[in-house]
Homo-oligomer: A and B are copies of this chain.
Amino acid sequence: MHTVSVATPGGHYPIHIGRGRLEALAASVPADATALAVITNTTVADLYGQRVHDALAAAGKPIHWVRLPDGEQYKTWDSLNQIFDALLGAALDRKAVLIALGGGVVGDMAGFAAACYMRGVRFVQVPTTLLAQVDSSVGGKTAINHPLGKNMIGAFYQPQAVEIDLQVLATLPAREISAGLAEVVKYGMIADAAFFAWCEAHVQALRALDDEAIAYAVRRACELKAWVVSQDERESGLRAILNFGHTFGHAIESGLGYGQWLHGEAVGCGMVLAAQLSVQARGLDPAVAARIQALVQAIGCPVRPPALGLDRWFDLMRVDKKTEGRHIRYVLLPGLGQACLQAVDDDKVRPLLAAAGG
């Protein structure tokens, strides 16, 4: 097992990465917890519900289960309210602990529920997708979607611990592995050129879930994310670089309807567009942009955006949380492994989207 530490004003906590972490979950339950509520979805419950139940039983606390429908389209107030109904229905108190067992959707919703239930109860992240393991479970961003924008309603709220079991990746569809790898390679693009090159060299091993390769990739991604959020928990500056590709990506997800493209797929395509924009607006070497497109393609993510219509692209992108006034701000790369946040006029982005078929 490897441990990565996260230190933010909102909380210090460990990320435990290893095989068999599900079986060790009882160790992450605080001694004074009055009860546990496992928030999960039907797919994950079928796969791991019994194992997690047996593992948590060792903690000797009452265990309640909340099974939500599976999919980004359910990251809504209705699902959040299902959690609150269950917690209040079971009369869980302020010392209850929530366990988020699932992918990013479950983690974001369970974390937001923990942030709001009785104004805040403790929770543990147990991410079961690659994307959640390397991104959403770390750093305390929680949220639900709104019909007018993704992740618009939420909180910065840190978990007590993140428990990453690499064994669960074996049951993921190949498409979800590819989507998760998009966030893995992102860290190389924005903060670690050597890691980017390592990903290029190990892309087949990563897609095949080679034990050693995937363990290193998850660990390095968590280290880089932990470093960024420890500098800037509430995204007043540096943390925004983690949104590389996300301005375009969120527009794709929102424009097509949540759940059509996976989040990582939309981000993968968004990073290709953001790299092209970086060539124009920040003088990024076109050869680097080409390497970025080649790596996104190699991990199995789409590199051509859907045809949303140009006006709609900008309407959707303007809802982005980085927007200030009317100016859409993009994370751009001055060079490989370096990122910055910059407003770019719509007129400069339009030809790029048009050429890409957007």
CB-CB < 8 A to A322: which residues of B? 94
CB-CB < 8 A to A142: which residues of B? 119
Q: A77-B77, A323-B93, A324-B95 are in contact. Are A155 and B88 (CB under 8 A)?
A: no
Q: A81-B77, A88-B149, A146-B88 are in contact. Are A154 and B323 (CB under 8 A)?
A: no
CB-CB < 8 A to A93: which residues of B? 321, 323-325
CB-CB < 8 A to A116: which residues of B? 116, 153-155
CB-CB < 8 A to A263: which residues of B? none
Interface residue tally for chain A (C-beta within 8 Å)? 38
Check: A234 CB closer than 8 A to any chain B CB. Answer: yes
Nearest-Cβ distance from residue A154 to partner chain B, whole angstroms: 5
- A89 near B148: Cβ-Cβ < 8 Å: yes
In-complex Cβ contact of A143 among B85, B119, B321, B325 (8 A): B119
- A119 near B323: Cβ-Cβ < 8 Å: no
CB-CB < 8 A to A323: which residues of B? 91, 93
Q: A118-B152, A119-B156, A120-B234 are in contact. Are A34 and B324 (CB under 8 A)?
A: yes
Q: Which residues of A contact B (CB under 8 A)?
A: 34, 77, 81, 84-85, 88-89, 91, 93-95, 115-120, 141-143, 146, 148-149, 151-156, 234-235, 318-319, 321-325
